[in-house]
Amino acid sequence: MAVLDRCTVSKMNRDADNLVDVQWIAKCANRLREEWPRADVASIDETALELWQVDWLREMSGEAAAALWLRPLHCSCGDC
């Protein structure tokens, strides 16, 4: 705890593990919105955040992760 302007506040935990890449999530969400333009914005953002939390998806760009996640929706062969 710290005192800031006579108020007690908690110190912010800034561990790298707790930080999200806002740009990655925004790019991922934009790609998801291309697929579902009428979907609820909060739901799209939540989905992008969930995709970011998958380590192996996070290694690629947000757009690529969204496209990979969306691929089964576009597959007609049944092997996706």
Q: Which residue has the tokens 């969930």?
A: 50
Global pTM value: 0.70
The pLDDT of residue 77: 62
Say if CB 62 and CB 27 are below 8 A apart. Answer: yes
State pLDDT tens for residues 40-67. 999 999 999 999 999 999 999 999 999 9
State pLDDT tens for residues 6-46. 555 455 555 555 567 899 999 999 999 999 999 999 999 99
- Domain locations in the chain? 19-66
The pLDDT of residue 39: 94
**In residues, how long is the chain?**
80
The pLDDT of residue 15: 54
